[in-house]
Amino acid sequence: MQLCPHLKILQRYFTINLIRTTALALIVLVGISSFLSLIDQLEDARGEDYGILQIIVYVLLIIPRLVYELIPIAAMIGSMATLGLLARNSELDIIRTSGVSKYSLAVLMGKSALAIVLFSIFIGEFVAPISEKKVQEQQAAALVEQISLQTKYGFWARDGNSFVNIRKILPGNKVEDVYIYEFDSQERLRNSIFAKHARYLDNQWLLEGIEKTTIDEAGVKREEYKKASWGSLLDPEIINLAVTKPQYLTAWGLYDYIQFLKSNTQNTERYRQAFYEKLIRPFTIVAMIVLSIPLVRTYAKSIAVGQHVFTGALIGIIFYFCNSATSHIGIVYGIHPFISVAAPTLVLLMILCRLLTGRS
């Protein structure tokens, strides 16, 4: 296999063009998503507590997350546009006739993709987690009056003169291991309540498996109840607001939190899925970029670059939905997190290998 004598120059040319087209696609995608988020947030405007200034800050803070989520789609569009431009100008034919095979072209595109992969890792590990934490703090301060905090030891909130600690948050407005500490006006602890389970039903909390300890001048009294209603103003949305979504944690943060959940015999499936997704994402980005080589070659030179861009966007969006679908299917049917997360990328790699090893 004879390679192009100016391979280094060709590599630089591919990298510059790929970064340029991918950046342009990413700016457009993030701009559209940010505008839609702005419109959506305007519906939640609440005067001075959550006005237009807070909404603008919110939209600016979620941009790193949008960038991280949209990089694979933008990379697919950028690679299709790059090769589409080369094909339209007959540069791709010249490169191929100079001795560069589809495999060598794939290596060039793969190396060019490393810059985008490194950028994705930087955003996902160092920028997006920090901005998402700021988003949650802003929303918690603007939309709710309770003081809320998510720690390794569960969710903490203030409810009047009471402090609430919830160790396990479950889907469907259900929680487990609830600790309620009630104080009087002199800030003295009067009641300590533990409930094994709690669920939000008919605009109130229903506690189950209750152990109540009362402290007063007469001493300490302990009581047990099977069920009791809890007249708390703590809204389930507040709990969901304070919980950091696993996909917005760093890889190390996910690993550390998974170990903590394991030590407390809690379900780790969602967090393991997010962890494996971070590990697989670089391979996904490279595969989607290299996939443009056999796809562009199947078109005639007369095909407009806009059609290549549309094809890249369509493939990227389809892959995004397939990835989301397999993750949800994995949770529903108890499939190992790595298999459910890696399946779309593995299928993509098999398709890519089949197309690249076909006839040139």
Please state the rounded mean pLDDT for residues 5-22.
89
- What's the pLDDT score for residue 3? 45
Contact 216, 199 (CB under 8 A): no
Give the integer Cα–Cα distance in Å for 323 and 332: 15
Average pLDDT, the chain: 85
For residue 223, what are the β-bridge partners?
Answer: 212
Q: What is the pLDDT of residues 259-274, one digit of tens each?
A: 877 876 777 888 899 9
For residue 178, what are the β-bridge partners?
Answer: 166, 195
Give the side-chain half-sphere CA count within 13 A for 141: 11
Integer-rounded Cα radius of gyration of the chain:
26
Question: Which residue, among 342, 258, 351, 277, has the nearest Cα to 69 in the 3D structure?
Answer: 277
Against a cut of 0.75, is the pTM above it?
yes
Burial class from Cβ neighbours inside 10 Å (0-12, 13-18, 19+) for residue 106 reads buried
Question: Which residue, among 171, 228, 220, has the nearest Cα to 195 in the 3D structure?
Answer: 228
Q: What is the pLDDT of residues 216-272, one digit of tens each?
A: 888 899 999 999 998 776 777 767 666 667 777 889 988 888 887 787 677 788 889
For residue 200, what are the β-bridge partners?
Answer: 205
At 71, is the pLDDT very low, low, confident or very high (cuts 50, 70, 90)? very high
Give the integer Cα–Cα distance in Å for 112 and 305: 20
- Fill in the amino acid letter for 9: I
Give the integer Cα–Cα distance in Å for 242 and 258: 18
Q: Which helix (H) or strand (E) holds 272?
A: helix 269-290
- Residue 257: C-alpha distances to residues 129, 267, 337 (Å): 14, 11, 16
Please state which of the ranges 79-83, 95-99, 320-324 shows the lowest mean pLDDT.
95-99
Give the integer Cα–Cα distance in Å for 192 and 301: 75
